[in-house]
Structure 1
Amino acid sequence: MPELMLDDPDGTLVMLRDSVTGFAARFPGAKAMRERRGRGGTMDPLIWSAMAEAGWIGLLLPEECGGAGLGLREQAVLSEALGRALIAEPTGTASVFAATLLGGASPGVERSRLAAGVASGEVVAVPAWTSGAKPVVARSVNGRIVLSGETRFVDAARAATDFLVAAQDADGVMLLSVAANADGVAISERAGVDGSAIATISFSDCAVPADRMLSRANRSEDLLRQAILHTRLALAAELTGVASKALELTIAYASDRVQFGKPIGSFQAIQHRLVDMWIEAEFAAAAVVNAVDALRGDDDDAAELAVLAAKARAGEAAFSICRRAVHLHGAMGYTDECDIGLYLKRTINLNAMLGQPEQLRLEFVERESGYRRGRI
């Protein structure tokens, strides 16, 4: 099946893939997704703790912060494998986004506490930030930072021990850690497509100690750019894994399902569809590999374009493949007992994070035009 083709001189990437395979045997992804709906969308703390024990949650955290100190190659392969296994815990937000923010934060007691807790699984640090929305406002009152406003579309809010909040004040934007049970914090949730819960976090005169400020920048783009890039790459890799596994399941089904005395996979019309799906999955994997390579280079503009292209390509491919996979499974593909529908639901949820494919394509065109003008 299509997969990320990256250099692996020391075998680390193979070990990561194998570790996810073994993990999925203990915690089957489809079963966990169905159970999560019964819990009202909250993540499974047992699964999260096991992922932290495996070293996955702190994979991008520097070693001095208690993490594994690995890079984006490893994260991309891990995310792809998690997508294949349908392990739908919030690694994009509570692992990749949070770890990147903490890795770039100023050294201090609070950063050390959060980073060590994230790596061990004892702390679930969830970013509370909404792109393009009115920012949370911060003001200084008696030596404390008081927050007002709200952030929407927050993942895993009920499981959070701390929120990582980007707040605007007169001097720019600051990153703060806010205890999830702090006075003035309210959480309202609604069900997501894949069974997870999507939350709105409201801050009403929420007073935060000044030592909870982790970093500061002039603009939110400067504060969050690296975290957004890394998370989009991880989401693209996970979407690639979802697409590849959905294709694999569909090929297996088409080989076993018999109509008119023959497996439906022997019919040319079905073969053409499967080949189209295969091509889309291969292009998605290639786009993610290109983004990994670009992020390891020195051209920040080229890296940003490559990541936009990767998430747009992987998101579009995963949705197309999963939609056709449900169709090719026939009537049973629409039932909850059939796992293939869960891959489609997971794709819809991942596509909604940090930009739908059509939105990212428009941003790519706009940025590429400016990039070219700047080089003339």
Structure 2
Amino acid sequence: MDFSLTDEQRMLQDTVERLVQDQYGFEQRRGYMQAPGGFTREMWNQMAELGLLGVPFAEEIGGFGGGPIETMLVMEAFGKGPVLEPYVATVATTGQLIADAGSDAQKEAILEPMVGGELILAFAHGERDNRYSVNQVSTRAERGGSGYKLSGQKTVVLHGDSADKLVVSARTGGDTMDAEGISLFLVDADAKGVSIQGYPTIDGLHAADVTLDGVEVAEDALIGAEGKAAALIELTQDRGAFAVCAEAVGAMTVACDMTLEYLKQRKQFGVPIGTFQSVQHRMVEMRIELEQARSATMKAAAKLAGDSAEERRHAVSVAKHQVGVGGRFISEQSIQLHGGIGMTEEYALAHYAKRIAMVNNQFGDADYHLDRFAANMTVPETA
């Protein structure tokens, strides 16, 4: 498999890395965190001007016409910030869901303004007790009048407190655990009956709990076929898992680089501690974990671009598990090798460690994806 980048991909990578390097210094990021929603609209608009919000979308709507590889390049660079803007919520997941399954009217109303930075989206699927499940949906959508009435609660909706529109999963049929009967709806965040409680997460990003109390939506708010959304939800979750894996690779790279630089400067017994063999071994192990995570994420990008849902599930789960396990190892070793300073709020490493930890818990943690991979393995028949 050829992993070399095209000229366009290299230009995209250079653009994003320059943006992060120039405008996401540690103190700058801490300032951005104080803005409403935990990020600045100025930076979001700048991303739109650079074309980053259109990376995975068709050129006809102002997009870049890219795919998973381009998304990986953007997210890995963002991980080096780490960036606070709602890129995963808006572009990597919800926007692509609408591009895949939305009606022509929905695409026209949502995608161009989103690519232009005018709309922020959020995917409201998680519920209090569904533990990463695609099919476990308790929120109900009852037919009534000229549309549907939605009632239920969604939890930990990434950037839900900043969203202009939500894509909400709700059950139009079947029991709570059934794959059949789940539908998706486009809901205005300020619609009557929608209550949003936002809060910061430990990594500086924001999430929200969303309550839907008899929210009325028209027939044309339905995305795709009624009751057939389970496969689309799984694809969207896999896209999100892949995107945060790429982001984590960027954060893990910085954690390794910061630690290596510290080992060259910190002295004990009159020599840099990086000269000690045991410390060198730890640094090598960290780099091994990083490269394994990077390789697994690259394979997931290739499989997301393919047509096989089974291969996509396998590759994404491998990447998510590797990033979860490897990211934890790198974070712990980085902090251990730095000593007490690695845990302080005033030192950048702690912020990377927090983001890496949160990535493990988004779109399925390492244990969840290990179980999913095992459950989907096929055992060859014996003669």
TM-score, with length taken from structure 1 = 0.92
Provide the C-alpha distance between the structure 2 equivalents of 1:29 and 1:202, rounded to a whole number of angstroms. Answer: 36
Of residues 228-237 and 167-176 in structure 1, the stretch that sits farther from structure 2 once superposed is 167-176
Unaligned runs of 5+ in 2: 127-131, 174-179
> Of the candidates 53, 73, 86, which is equivalent to residue 90 of structure 1?
86
Provide the C-alpha distance between the structure 2 equivalents of 1:201 and 1:258, rounded to a whole number of angstroms. Answer: 51
Partner of 2:14: 18
Provide the C-alpha distance between the structure 2 equivalents of 1:268 and 1:216, rounded to a whole number of angstroms. Answer: 60
Cα distance change of structure 1 residues 173 and 194 upon mapping to structure 2, 3 Å threshold: same
Provide the C-alpha distance between the structure 2 equivalents of 1:191 and 1:121, rounded to a whole number of angstroms. Answer: 22
Partner of 1:153: 156
Which residue identity is paired with 1:163?
A: L
Following TM superposition, by how much is the alpha carbon of 1:41 offset from its aligned partner in structure 2, in angstroms?
4.9
Provide the C-alpha distance between the structure 2 equivalents of 1:138 and 1:375, rounded to a whole number of angstroms. Answer: 47
Q: Matches of residues 111-122 of structure 1 in structure 2 within 5 Å?
A: 111-122=107-118
Following TM superposition, by how much is the alpha carbon of 1:375 offset from its aligned partner in structure 2, in angstroms?
11
Partner of 2:137: 134
Following TM superposition, by how much is the alpha carbon of 1:121 offset from its aligned partner in structure 2, in angstroms?
0.9
Of residues 358-367 and 130-139 in structure 1, the stretch that sits farther from structure 2 once superposed is 130-139
Is the CA contact (8 Å cut-off) linking 1:232 and 1:354 kept in structure 2?
Answer: yes
Of residues 110-119 and 30-39 in structure 1, the stretch that sits farther from structure 2 once superposed is 30-39
Provide the C-alpha distance between the structure 2 equivalents of 1:285 and 1:146, rounded to a whole number of angstroms. Answer: 44
Provide the C-alpha distance between the structure 2 equivalents of 1:295 and 1:127, rounded to a whole number of angstroms. Answer: 19
Partner of 1:177: 186
Provide the C-alpha distance between the structure 2 equivalents of 1:51 and 1:36, rounded to a whole number of angstroms. Answer: 15
Q: Matches of residues 280-299 of structure 1 in structure 2 within 5 Å?
A: 280-299=289-308
User: Which segments of structure 1 move beyond 4 Å, counting only runs of 4 or more?
Assistant: 373-376
Of residues 49-58 and 347-356 in structure 1, the stretch that sits farther from structure 2 once superposed is 49-58
> Of the candidates 197, 200, 204, which is equivalent to residue 195 of structure 1?
204
Provide the C-alpha distance between the structure 2 equivalents of 1:312 and 1:17, rounded to a whole number of angstroms. Answer: 25
User: Root-mean-square deviation (CA), in Å?
Assistant: 2.1
Following TM superposition, by how much is the alpha carbon of 1:212 offset from its aligned partner in structure 2, in angstroms?
2.2
Cα distance change of structure 1 residues 186 and 333 upon mapping to structure 2, 3 Å threshold: same
Following TM superposition, by how much is the alpha carbon of 1:340 offset from its aligned partner in structure 2, in angstroms?
0.4
Following TM superposition, by how much is the alpha carbon of 1:217 offset from its aligned partner in structure 2, in angstroms?
5.0
Following TM superposition, by how much is the alpha carbon of 1:155 offset from its aligned partner in structure 2, in angstroms?
1.1
Which residue identity is paired with 2:233?
A: L
Cα deviations by residue, 1:52-81 (Å, 9 ceiling, x for unpaired): 222222211222343222111111111111
Provide the C-alpha distance between the structure 1 equivalents of 2:55 and 2:156, rounded to a whole number of angstroms. Answer: 25
Partner of 1:364: 373
Cα distance change of structure 1 residues 324 and 241 upon mapping to structure 2, 3 Å threshold: same
Partner of 1:312: 321
Provide the C-alpha distance between the structure 2 equivalents of 1:119 and 1:316, rounded to a whole number of angstroms. Answer: 34
> Aligned to 2:54, what secondary structure does the other structure show?
coil
Cα distance change of structure 1 residues 220 and 167 upon mapping to structure 2, 3 Å threshold: same
Provide the C-alpha distance between the structure 2 equivalents of 1:375 and 1:297, rounded to a whole number of angstroms. Answer: 30
Partner of 1:355: 364
TM-score, with length taken from structure 2 = 0.90
Which residue identity is paired with 1:141?
A: G
Cα deviations by residue, 1:248-282 (Å, 9 ceiling, x for unpaired): 11101111112221111111111011000011001
Is the CA contact (8 Å cut-off) linking 2:172 and 2:226 kept in structure 1?
Answer: no
Is the CA contact (8 Å cut-off) linking 1:40 and 1:197 kept in structure 2?
Answer: no
Provide the C-alpha distance between the structure 1 equivalents of 2:3 and 2:77, rounded to a whole number of angstroms. Answer: 14
How many residue pairs end up in the alignment? Answer: 369
Q: Which structure has the higher relative contact order (CA within 8 Å, separation 6+)?
A: 1
Is the CA contact (8 Å cut-off) linking 1:295 and 1:303 kept in structure 2?
Answer: yes
Of residues 298-307 and 170-179 in structure 1, the stretch that sits farther from structure 2 once superposed is 170-179
> Of the candidates 51, 67, 73, which is equivalent to residue 69 of structure 2?
73
> Of the candidates 4, 7, 13, which is equivalent to residue 7 of structure 1?
4
Following TM superposition, by how much is the alpha carbon of 1:209 offset from its aligned partner in structure 2, in angstroms?
2.2
Partner of 1:143: 146
Which residue identity is paired with 1:63?
A: E
Cα distance change of structure 1 residues 116 and 41 upon mapping to structure 2, 3 Å threshold: closer
> Of the candidates 204, 209, 216, which is equivalent to residue 218 of structure 2?
209
> Aligned to 1:38, what secondary structure does the other structure show?
coil
Cα distance change of structure 1 residues 237 and 149 upon mapping to structure 2, 3 Å threshold: same
Provide the C-alpha distance between the structure 1 equivalents of 2:81 and 2:287, rounded to a whole number of angstroms. Answer: 18
Is the CA contact (8 Å cut-off) linking 2:248 and 2:359 kept in structure 1?
Answer: yes
Which residue identity is paired with 1:179?
A: D
Cα deviations by residue, 1:284-334 (Å, 9 ceiling, x for unpaired): 111111222223334331221011101110122122102211121112112
Which residue identity is paired with 1:129?
A: H
Cα deviations by residue, 1:17-46 (Å, 9 ceiling, x for unpaired): 211222123421533542354346533211
Once the two structures are aligned, what percentage of the paired residues are identical? 27
Partner of 2:53: 57
Provide the C-alpha distance between the structure 2 equivalents of 1:162 and 1:367, rounded to a whole number of angstroms. Answer: 34
